[in-house]
A and B are shown apart, each in its own frame.
Chain A
Amino acid sequence: QSALTQPASVSGSPGQSITISCTGSSSDVGSYNLVSWYQQHPGKAPKLMIYEGSKRPSGVSNRFSGSKSANTASLTISGLQAEDEADYYCCSFAGSSTYVFGTGTKVTVL
């Protein structure tokens, strides 16, 4: 199972919006509405930000939103803040009780 493809880095200024893409295949992202997104600060455990493509867990800012089209999922962060600087990973269910993560994207707030 190959990792989902994400851009290595994305940057934006405070207040701007950025979008991170996550490209998989018809075997994972394209077949299931089970893409989740995680935020990871250095030295910390990942934190769930989006599940089932576009749903936010309780407590996650509404500045984070998700979507999916065909084999590509996307995470948008609006109103970028300094605290959003972190690594972001997508993850998709890939059938038969297996999962695959994305390659990860480093978000820099300029």
Chain B
Amino acid sequence: QVQLVQSGAEVKKPGASVKVSCKASGYTFTSYGISWVRQAPGQGLEWMGWISAYNGNTNYAQKLQGRVTMITDTSTSTAYMELRSLRSDDTAVYYCARHSGTSAGAFDIWGQGTMVTVSS
């Protein structure tokens, strides 16, 4: 079945970096874009950025520009999101989500989420 499986929970210190993976299966990886979305504890969803799995083009949310990098490895059908210079307010569940094939404006398949905790 079509699914996205993310890497496990991470605990990082302020100033460190974290890299979360998102492995796709059940569909042609390069035919769909992937967005990353995060959710701080008890808070709403925040769109972080998008990557085309076809050509690697990216677009990041303005507030994260310079701290976030999204890449894909088409040989393993895996997307990665790296966030640098971590702060306590980066503590959140991070989701990858596939852009729908029928509508660019929707995310039809989501990963299970990866909890990233930033604490000294």
Contacts and interface: CB of A to CB of B under 8 A. Distances in A.
Interface residues of A, number: 29
Q: What is the predominant secondary structure among interface residues of chain A facing chain B?
A: strand
A48 B100 contact: yes
Interface string A94-110: 00111111111000000
Interface in B22-80: 35, 37, 44-47, 50, 59, 61-62
Contacts of B105: 32, 34-36, 51-52, 91-93, 99
B103 interface: yes
Interface in A15-30: none
A61 B50 CA distance: 29
Contacts, number: 75
Q: On chain B, which size bracket covers the interface?
A: 20 to 34
7 contacts: A1-B62, A36-B105, A46-B110, A51-B102, A52-B105, A98-B59, A101-B44
Interface of A: 1, 3, 32, 34-36, 38, 40, 45-48, 51-52, 55, 57, 89, 91-93, 96-104
